[in-house]
Structures are given as structure tokens and as C-alpha cells.
Amino acid sequence: MTIEDLKIKDKSFSETDFISKVDNTYIMLLSSIINQNLDRVKHKLSNKLYERYSIVIKKLKANNEKQLYDELNVKSTQIIDIDETDNEYIIKVLLISRYMDYKIDLNTNMYKSGINDHRIEINNYLTFTKFKSTKNEDIVKYCPGCGGNIDSNNTGVCKYCGSIYNTKDYDWILSDLK
């Protein structure tokens, strides 16, 4: 399947918007690992990926460590494959990022391990999925519970009624990262 095929099948697809979403989701995930709290990105991840990174954060906490990704940026992002199943669209992406990757001790804030003196370049392979049955949404997202505005780039939780904006019902979610 090509990008043009996807645009025909999914009228709401925009390559530019998708690449922006990929970059944003990736940065949000790494920032959430730094902060040891996945709440801000949970609604953009598959359950499997959420569990994987919850375990990473639990291990960091158990070892009294904090993972840092200093001077983080995305160098480039490109779609490398598009596929579909009966139920969903699947896009695989190569995202090249650069950052210093190291851990510090939470008590002393002292360096423990990793690379903290220069940035490294990492090839990340991300897979995003979108159910074919997703509901089209406008730029402004509305709470499924009360209809209030929701900032889906924040926590995906309605500040009025507490309902969760489940991105997989509306949009692309990050389902794998290698």
C-alpha cells in the first residue's frame, strides 16, 4: 500500500500531520520516562507498549535511578511501510533521534551509567496502528462523557468529568517501538 492508497481509503490522512504526530508521541514518551510517569502519554500507546514502559519505570524506581535523554531531538522521520489488515491500518516509521542517554542516582543526582558527554544517534522503528472503524474527529477533541474540550496532548483525561479520551477510538496509536 502507498501513501496515496491510504489517502484514498482514509480521507482524513495527512502525511505531514502524521509525521508531526509521530515526532510528538516519541518525544512525549521519552519525556514521560524521564519524569517516571506515563499518564501524559498513556492514551497514545497500545496496552502492550504501556505495560512495557511501566516495567521500565518500575525498574528505574526500584534501582533508585532516573533515566535522562538530554539534548533530545528528532533528526528525521520517514514512513517506511504501510499495510492494512481487515480491521486496521499499520504504518511503520523510521525515526532518527539524537540525545545523551544516561542514568543518575535519585538521591545524589550523580551520574551512574550511560553516555552523558556527547549525543548519540539512534534509529528507532515505530509502528502506528489505526482502526478502520475510528470515528473522524476535528482538531478540537471532545470528551466522550460530557462533551467538554479535551487536550489530547496532555493526559487525555477530561478535567470536567474525569472520562478518558481513548485515542485508539479516534486516531493513530503507537503500538511498537524498537
DSSP state letter for 164: B
Q: How many CB atoms lie within 10 A of CB 177?
A: 18
Helix ranges, the chain (H)? 3-9, 15-35, 47-62
Domains defined along the chain, listed by start: 3-132+172-177 (3.10.450.240)
Q: Give the H/E segment covering residue 78.
A: strand 65-84
Q: Which of 39-43, 109-113, 156-160, 162-166 has the highest mean pLDDT?
A: 109-113
Q: Say yes or no to pLDDT of 140 above 50.
A: no
Question: Mean per-residue pLDDT for 89-93?
Answer: 97
- Cα–Cα–Cα angle for 77, 80, 83, rounded to 5 degrees: 130
Read off the pLDDT of residues 7-58 as tens digits, 9 standing for 90 and up.
888 888 899 999 999 999 999 999 999 999 999 999 899 999 999 999 999 9
Q: Which of 80, 65, 71 is nearest to 22 (CA)?
A: 80
- What per-residue confidence (pLDDT) applies to 139? 47
The whole model's pTM is what? 0.84
Q: How many CB atoms lie within 10 A of CB 150?
A: 24
- Indicate the angle between helix axes 15-35 and 47-62, nearest 10 degrees: 30
Question: Mean per-residue pLDDT for 134-158?
Answer: 61
- What per-residue confidence (pLDDT) applies to 1? 87
Q: CA 77, CA 17: separation in Å to the nearest integer?
A: 12
| pLDDT level of residue 158 (50, 70, 90 thresholds) | confident
Q: Say yes or no to pLDDT of 138 above 60.
A: no
